[in-house]
Structure 1
Amino acid sequence: MVREKNEADQDLDRLLDDLEYIKKAVSKRNNIFNFMEVAKAIRLAALLSGLLIIFISTVLYLLIRQYGSYHLMPGQTRLYLYLYIALAIIFIAVLKLRSFLRKAREIDSTITLRDLVAAIYTSHFIEIMIPFLIVLVGVPLYLSTASLDRLILPFTAIIFGLLCFAISGLLYFRSLLFLGGWLLLAGFTFLFWLPGLHELFQVIISFGLGFLVMGAAGYIRSSREE
């Protein structure tokens, strides 16, 4: 009886190994994001991104209120602000990469950072990104030269929102739809109903709260699946 139990355990181990092999083989033939729990990989980074955007925007607003304008702020203060923003961006970028890599290695333990980057920046992804990047640069530049600075942030939020919808299916990332929808709602709200709202408050409402919504959606969706 013990022998039969050992044989059953061995058969189960072989079956699990076969399933793992099949899973790896399929993931290599398809985009790894099709098998990853992307919402779990990005939710913490999304929440922290939202909090950092809100914090930095609030600090910058208070500094502008104190000194009268951004250009009147002491150079050293602006330097510290730039350094803090740079460190925040690096921190979030590293956190996202580590989270993505950890989730990817749950599917294929041999995957490398290079493989992960290649899975993200496919030719299809680049084809989608290039037009949006051109618009993201061109539209604010035109609005700035046309003395329509108040429209820059609303249009930027709208374009980013559309970009989120465009790449959400490509990356199998449904939580990105929440960010995209929020940015579209915020952008059109600033255009038609709150055109005079301070730019930094627009940043807080659109991108700050938007990333919080995306992160919260990731946690809620994961808890429901569990």
Structure 2
Amino acid sequence: MSKKGEVEKLVDDLVFIKEAIKKNNSIFKYFSISRALRGVLLYSGLVVISFSLWLNHLISKYDSFQAAPIILKRFTYFLIVIALVIVVIFKIKTMIRAAQKVQSDITVTKLIKEVYTGQTLMVMIPFIITIALFIVFLQQQALGDYILPIVAILVGLLTNSVVSVFHIKELIIMGDWLIITGFITLFFLSSFSTALILAFTFGLGCIVMYFATFLSSSQEGE
């Protein structure tokens, strides 16, 4: 084989190896999702806290959310839907933009496949089923006040379980925050309203993770 042929074969082998590595490794290994999602985390945290304060205001004024005027309840539902849509679009666009720096042909469909792999689903599905069954059980037993603390604990455990899947070390901070605050609100339930539990667990959790991404970046010298 000529020298030129050997070089061409070597190039082909390198391309083959590169493609094989891509297929067997998650794209999330090659860029920082946590830094890419900083804006999403901050926005999500502020939205959850704002919604919680609004809900707490309605409950304080009308004794319960159900007793609030229908127009205020509809307005609240409308705001929730709009906020969720913005979060989803913001998150997808941010992740696509970051992923395209690594893989230029990445699409929303490909990104979803990268997120919901067999490994991911094997971890997530049991937790999702457990959370759903706990919610149904607590509702049936008229223990609705316990739903948010228990959901926070279970989501925290789920979050810690997917750290190695998504290669986001800051998820440990988020997961631990949800577990700790979930147990705090569970044991001192009478001291918290449902709205404040939501703000304390999930709202502040997003804010804490937002600041954690800056701390990890400074430690890495970025």
Normalised by the shorter chain, which TM-score bucket? Answer: 0.7 to 0.9
- Post-superposition offset of 1:150: 2.4
The answer for the alignment partner of 2:180 in structure 1 is 185
**TM-score, normalized by length of structure 1?**
0.86
Cα distance in structure 1, aligned partners of 2:77 and 2:84: 11
Q: What pairs up with 1:81-96 in 2 under 5 angstroms?
A: 81-96=76-91
Cα distance in structure 1, aligned partners of 2:211 and 2:218: 11
The answer for the alignment partner of 1:131 in structure 2 is 126
The answer for the alignment partner of 1:33 in structure 2 is 28
| SS, match of residue 106 in structure 1 | coil
Cα distance in structure 2, aligned partners of 1:71 and 1:24: 56
CA distance 1:138–1:108, shift in 2 (3 Å): same
Pick the aligned partner of 2:204 from 206, 209, 216: 209
Which blocks of at least 5 consecutive residues in structure 1 are unaligned? 1-18
Whether 2:112 is the aligned partner of 1:120: answer no
Structure 1 vs Structure 2: percent identity of aligned residues?
Answer: 33
- Post-superposition offset of 1:22: 7.9
Pick the aligned partner of 1:44 from 35, 39, 42: 39
Cα distance in structure 2, aligned partners of 1:100 and 1:172: 14
Which blocks of at least 5 consecutive residues in structure 2 are unaligned? 1-13
- Post-superposition offset of 1:60: 1.1
Give the length in aligned residue pairs: 207
Moved more, 20-29 or 148-157: 20-29
Whether 2:70 is the aligned partner of 1:75: answer yes
Cα distance in structure 1, aligned partners of 2:88 and 2:217: 22
**Superposed CA offset, 1:140-164 (max 9, x none):** 2111211222221111110000000
The answer to whether the Cα contact below 8 Å between 2:40 and 2:91 also exists between their aligned partners in 1 is: yes
